[in-house]
Amino acid sequence: MPSRMTVDSNGEKMNKKNAWKLPRIGQKVEITIESVAFGGSGIGRFAGLVIFVPFTVDGDRVEIEITEVRQSYAKGRMCRILKPSPFRTVPECSLYERCGGCQYQHIAYTHQLEIKKNQVIDAFERIGKHPAPPVRDVIASPMPYAYRGKAEFHISFKSGRLPVIGYKEAADSRIVPVSRCAIVDESVNRSLTALRGKLNAISAAGRRGGKKEERVILWSDTGKAAVDPGVSGGRGGLVMRPVKEKMLRAPFQGFFQANSALVGSMVDSVIRACALTGKETVLDAYCGSGLFSLFLASSARQLFGVDADGEAVHCAAENLSKEGISNAEFFAGDVGEILRHTFLKTQQSVDIVVLDPPRIGCSSDVLEALKSLGPARIIYISCNPATQARDVRRLRDSGYILRDLQPIDMFPQTKHIEIVGLLERENRI
């Protein structure tokens, strides 16, 4: 009896018994990209196997070379575009696909927003186990390019050569020389040019020292740096950042929201989610330099801020003090420990928690402390929908209802997306 036949994604007939045979590394196949996964790779299929291909977009018909094969998926490298997607566009940066900073420059910006919304929905359905999550349309960045007010560059020093300054390659750890970055504020590019000249002069004079590699942070000149970054990156210094007609000081080496054009809209989303009446006690966990605290404290009865970065906490206290705000108190230390010892142990009640953890999300002790603290409302801000969905699932299991998810495109041209989530304790219905 002849074997039954099937057809692969190239339209070629295959024996049924071989239809699920894994492709080989180095094999070239043709596939159609169906969607874009969180992380930036396009998703296609060959002989029933999911294949991830960077720098593709749904609608592309491409020839790829298989670079990695696992039991449940494979990875491929795009060799050529056979039929371009209608969502494909021309990247603005000549270093795109080499530099590791951007993943979506080949995708039209309006479609980037649709992709990111779908990725948030997928994360909360698949990881968060939340059917039909309440995801709003993504708030677009007013500036799809030239929006970053801060950038970190790598510098490589080699004997007998001029220093190399740039970003790490997407494929490995080598530094790609960068003369201009398309997604940073132009003042950062000017500082980059000046820094390169300074480094070259130091190297030519033989005063480089024994360094092999270094990192340097450059900020836009929309604020005023309290130090000259030089080659040391301004370690220990401060920088001033403008937000909604106020100036905030932050540690030069510390965290601050990078999208200068959209940070005000992000603050507005948090204010709206908090819905303060003046009677609430607010806890700003992972408060950093007090970005949200500054705009919430004046509408709250009392505000507490907590962060592990002592220098950032000092800046937060000064930022609010300079605005004449006296109803705020800040604590430096591990968030979980402070929640247990400063709030739960003393039975300090909290009505609203603003939660803005690192990309890895909240630790179990923080989530357990929040469960015991029992605020009426939690505003969870995250740049990683996967860890946010995971943590929100645990909070839902603790009696909270997910009311709203507002994605904000703080990182155009990249795989990242910021989300402001609102949860309410179930007995508030």
Is the Cβ–Cβ distance between 51 and 31 less than 8 Å? yes
Q: Is 93 an annotated catalytic residue?
A: no
User: Taking the C-alpha atoms of 303, 304, 310 and 311 in order, what is their torsion angle to the nearest 10 degrees?
Assistant: 0
In 122-267, beta strands by DSSP E: 150-156, 164-168, 175-177, 213-219, 238-243, 246-251
Place of tokens 């739960």: 344
Instruction: Name the pTM for this structure.
Output: 0.89
397 is in an annotated binding site: no
71 is in an annotated binding site: no
359: nearest Cα among 382, 380, 378, 381? 382
**Mean pLDDT computed over 169-176:** 79
150: nearest Cα among 102, 214, 220? 220
Structure tokens, 29: 């196949």
Neighbours of 157 (CB within 10 A): 18
pLDDT of residue 230: 43
d(CA 184, CA 205): 30
pLDDT of residue 287: 98
Residues in the chain, overall count: 429
**Pairwise pLDDT comparison (174 vs 235), residue with the higher score:** 174
φ and ψ of 332, to 5 deg: -105, 125
Catalytic site residue from 102, 274, 287, 383:
383
d(CA 263, CA 266): 5
The DSSP string of 16-75 is: GGGTTPPPPTT-EEEEE--EE-TTS-EEEEETTEEEEETT--TT-EEEEEEEEE-SSEEE
113's enclosing H/E stretch is: helix 109-126
**Mean pLDDT computed over 166-192:** 90
Q: What is the pLDDT of residues 13-59, one digit of tens each?
A: 444 444 457 899 999 999 999 999 999 999 999 988 999 999 999 99
Query: With pLDDT > 90 as the criterion, what percentage of the chain qualifies?
Result: 79
φ and ψ of 292, to 5 deg: -80, -35
Place of tokens 């007995």: 427
pLDDT band at residue 205 under the 50/70/90 scheme: low
Q: Which domains does the chain have, with CATH numbers?
A: 5-83 (2.40.50.140), 109-143+258-428 (3.40.50.150), 150-242 (no CATH)
Reduce the secondary structure of 190-228 to three states and give it as a string: HHHHHHHHHHHHHHHCCCCCCCCEEEEEEECCCCCECCC
d(CA 282, CA 373): 12
Q: What is the pLDDT of residues 306-356, one digit of tens each?
A: 999 999 999 999 999 999 999 999 999 999 999 999 999 999 999 999 999
**Mean pLDDT computed over 95-109:** 94
Is the Cβ–Cβ distance between 409 and 112 less than 8 Å? yes
Q: Give whole-number Cα distances, 57 to 139, 233, 276, in Å.
A: 21, 37, 42
State yes or no: pLDDT of 72 exceeds 70.
yes
Q: What is the pLDDT of residues 210-240, one digit of tens each?
A: 567 888 999 998 655 444 444 444 446 899 9
Is the Cβ–Cβ distance between 113 and 416 less than 8 Å? no
**Pairwise pLDDT comparison (135 vs 161), residue with the higher score:** 135
pLDDT of residue 427: 74
Q: What is the pLDDT of residues 407-427, one digit of tens each?
A: 999 999 999 999 999 999 987
pLDDT band at residue 1 under the 50/70/90 scheme: very low
281's enclosing H/E stretch is: strand 281-285
Q: What is the pLDDT of residues 189-201, one digit of tens each?
A: 999 999 999 888 8
d(CA 19, CA 366): 48
6 HSE (CA, 13 A, CB side): 12
286 is in an annotated binding site: yes
> Lowest mean pLDDT: which of 204-208, 222-226, 249-253?
222-226
253 is in an annotated binding site: no
Is the Cβ–Cβ distance between 42 and 53 less than 8 Å? yes
d(CA 205, CA 131): 64
